[in-house]
Structure 1
Amino acid sequence: MGGANGQRCVDLSTVSDTAPLPKPPPVPGRRWFLPSAVTAELDPDQSGRKGRPKRTARDWLVDFACFLIAVTVGLIGADEMSGNTDIPYALQAVDQWLGALACAAVWLRRRWPVGLAVAMVPVCFISNTAGGAGLVALFTVAVHRPFKYAAWTGGASAALLPLFYWLRPDPEVPYVLIVALGWLLTATVVGWGTLARSKRQLMLSLRDRARRAETESALRAEQAQRLAREAIAREMHDVLAHRLTLLSVHAGALEFRPDAPQVEVARAAGVIRESAHEALQDLREIIGVLRASGDGPEESGRPQPTLGALEGLVSESREAGMKVTLDNHVTDAGTVPASVGRTAYRIAQEGLTNARKHAPGAEVTVTVTGAPGDGLTISVHNPPPPGDVPHVPGSGQGLIGLTERATLAGGHFEHGPGEDGGFRVSAWLPWG
């Protein structure tokens, strides 16, 4: 009988129906409730295993109950036959022996459900005592196999019922009524077994959907973490490239002008010390976020820069010896959304860093325009450098990162040579 309550529930939802899924974790203390035979036949996780599944304690109890049902019905049939003097004693003995063998065969119902049910059709036609075993076999094939097997075996049994009761009429029940009751019992057994199988299939389907949901959720979390770490990497590049460029510029000035006035040397050393301190602090914060959970750079302790910090960035570059002109037409930087202002700040920071490395001595112009509804436009332009430019290695990752930043913010980013032979980066970001 396989047990109608056998069920498992673990995990799955809307990943592709053919996508391979990880094995569900074992559920401690639940194996006793799992119908191993039916699970192996219906569950794709179990059906691919070699050999027959091990019969559980529940399986043994169910099989023993089926055996008792078969024996009880068989004893009732044998008792009815013993009271019928029209049946020869030899035929009664054969009937009872066939019934005993049929009841013993019930223990094989899990191994050969279809074969047992087919064999019970002629046996039940010959032996009245085997009726209980025939019903158990019919129920088993309905539970363990698709409906067509139960329909064929049940239909064959139902077709033989009129002939059976014609040859062995019941002395107390009319012929038509006993045949109708036999058909009703056969249909009930097949329907009950089919319902039990459908319930198990539903439970397995829900388990698979839950597993897919859990797998998809894990994939989404992994993707979100990966995107957050990529954002941290971009943040690290933007911040540290600016700080380290300041270090390089002032260290180069000290190297090539060892006879500089003491005041300039002290100022350059102070800028180097301050830039190194801020670079280390930024690095500690980013590494701390990476060690924590990868939730993004916004979770660090220091507030992120916005458009209002652009003045400080330009002042810092001027202190490093750059010629920078800020043309800011946004009078109230506080009205700019924080994410848009932060993206604009990083674009200006990367533009100044590149100009400092690749066009030393050139005057850089930072232009910011925009209004709510029109968007925010920021550009950084520098003319060709006045002298020879030392080779400075670069990977181009900064411009790629700025393109990603602008795209994620819903805008667009452009860069390339200017009309005067210099270089220009510009971006448009949505505002309002």
Structure 2
Amino acid sequence: MRGVGSPYTPKTGIERWLDARMPLPRLVYDSFIIYPVPRNLNYAYSFGGILTVMLVSQILTGVVLAMHYAPNTVLAFDSVEKIMRDVNSGWLLRYLHSNGASFFFIAVYIHIGRGLYYGSFKSPRELLWVLGCTNFLLMMATAFMGYVLPWGQMSFWGATVITNFFTAIPVAGQWIQQLLLGGFAVDNPTLNRFFALHYLLPFMLVGVVTLHIWALHVVGQNNPIGIDVKSSADVVDFTPHATVKDALGIVVFSLVLAYFVFYMPNFLGHPDNYTVAEPLKTPAHIVPEWYFLPFYAILRAITFSIGPIDSKLGGVLAMFAAIAVLFFVPWLDTSKVRSAVYRPWYRLFFALFVANGLFLGWLGSRPPEGAYVILSQFATLYYFAFFIVIMPLLGLIETPRRLPNSITEAVLEQTRQAADPD
């Protein structure tokens, strides 16, 4: 079976020896050199490569930081300060890791948004999308565990508040909270558990990312117009076309990250987290990291009871439902047209969805009082309505624009319009 359908030809004796025993060069050649990709991919499709690079960067910096970190409530905060001051280039590693987490989420939100806009979740890519959502869930768990490790004020109280919400779950809530905490309060066992999980989960993420890339290579890459490949004229080789595009995207993204690391390293952090945790001194306003704020706003938006479900349990259910609904998107969108480029009404509602997500993020940073609560409830309503009401209905009533016959036709039309805008 080795080599069936593959144009790869070993050129040296070592390559022939390896190809006969473990055809790794053939796999790389078939998957990343001659692998066909649609010829109309834009820079929005570079974020898959960016996320892969960011994952490797986070693991490498995290492993080195773990060598100097002490998962003990008495030593944790000081060990982070020691990394910053005494470890060679420790400040750089720490700032790359902490700011890298934020940029990791920036990239994944753009990646998810691109998938929603261009319909990358539709048949036959449902499993690809579900694996991507699983990656997102693992990322969130890893980031939450990592945020606790510096053992600053916001780390301690953020862990206290979030784990306390599990007690709202009937029957098993108390047990889940005590399992996470290792006791009845956030303390040394909690820090040890979170450190172990924060170290382990990225390697689980690597496994699911590998499945994600495998699934992508099986079903093929989607493209901005959402049309299947019709002929060899619609595709180009992955290298150099996609690799050059992705490399440029990675360089630009890395330069922006570098600006934050060297000039604004603490801009994305909370000031309270630069003071050691004090269990007897509660911060005036407890907030998670910025990338959790939209879901935090959804959690706090539920201030009313529905039958046997009180507001606390309702908020927890709403927060987890906001993530869970993403897994069902391939079956909620009923439109036969993939790309929003040809769906004018969907494009409008999607723009409102993006604005609503940013608005939820801002509301999550505000105190849970007065008008902020009411606005959070309306924003939460639109968030769920977009998936549960708007997506299914638009597929039934929207009249899309005429689709081109092929990717090549669309590319030639764009070229013609660029050359002759009149």
Give TM-score scaled by structure 1 length: 0.20
Normalized per residue, the structure richer in strand is 1
Name the structure, 1 or 2, with higher relative contact order (CA <8 Å, separation 6+): 2
Which of these two proteins has the greater Rg computed from alpha carbons? 1
- State the TM-score, normalizing by the size of structure 2: 0.20
